[in-house]
């Protein structure tokens, strides 16, 4: 979820109720703020918010059902998750590829921090910051090419 997301805000009360029922259901319920954990959004390839996953014994399934409390509980109690195709091996959050995707998301966050430092703290004009990144990209490409 993300705190600014209207759909996430809409499901928040339901999700909190679901979390309160987690002990009775024999599960653990959590939520991750993708603005604070960009690596996880990359690892799970989150493209829409909110995104719900069911994980059991290292097998991940994306929940795409209704987001009512009754349907979420039914998904667990009636073991509906067994009928859902697990995330493909190469797209699994534990795969090497998704580990690399998480690294790219972390890297993009690092670049954003540098940009904010240059423009916000040092007062560098935004286009000068862009020019610095363009030059850095070209130089790194030239060095790697050599």
Provide the β-strand partners of residue 60: 55
Enter the pTM of the model: 0.65
| Mean pLDDT on 19-25 | 89
| Mean pLDDT on 93-111 | 79
| Residue 51 predicted with pLDDT over 70 | yes
| Residue 53 predicted with pLDDT over 80 | yes
Q: Is 103 part of the annotated catalytic residue set?
A: no
Neighbours of 13 (CB within 10 A): 10
Q: pLDDT higher for 77 or 100?
A: 77
List the catalytic residue out of 1, 2, 4, 5: 5
Q: Is 3 part of the annotated catalytic residue set?
A: no
Spatial separation of the C-alpha atoms in residues 12 and 31, rounded to whole Å: 10
What are the chain's domains?
6-91 (3.40.30.10)
List the catalytic residue out of 1, 8, 92, 101: 8
| Mean pLDDT on 65-81 | 91
| Mean pLDDT on 109-134 | 92
């Amino acid at each position: 979820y993300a705190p600014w997301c209207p759909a996430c805000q809409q499901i928040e009360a339901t999700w909190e109720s679901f979390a309160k029922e987690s002990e009775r259901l024999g599960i653990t319920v959590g939520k991750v703020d993708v603005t604070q954990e960009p690596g996880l959004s990359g690892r799970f390839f989150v493209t829409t918010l909110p995104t719900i996953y069911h994980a059991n014994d290292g097998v991940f399934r994306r929940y795409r059902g209704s987001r009512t409390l009754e349907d979420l509980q039914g998904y667990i109690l009636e073991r509906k998750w067994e009928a859902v195709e697990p995330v493909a091996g190469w797209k699994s959050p534990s795969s090497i590829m998704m580990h690399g995707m998480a690294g790219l998301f972390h890297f993009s966050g690092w670049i954003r921090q540098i940009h904010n430092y240059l423009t916000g703290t040092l007062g560098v004009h935004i286009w000068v910051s862009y020019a610095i990144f363009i030059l850095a990209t070209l130089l790194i490409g030239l060095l790697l090419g050599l």
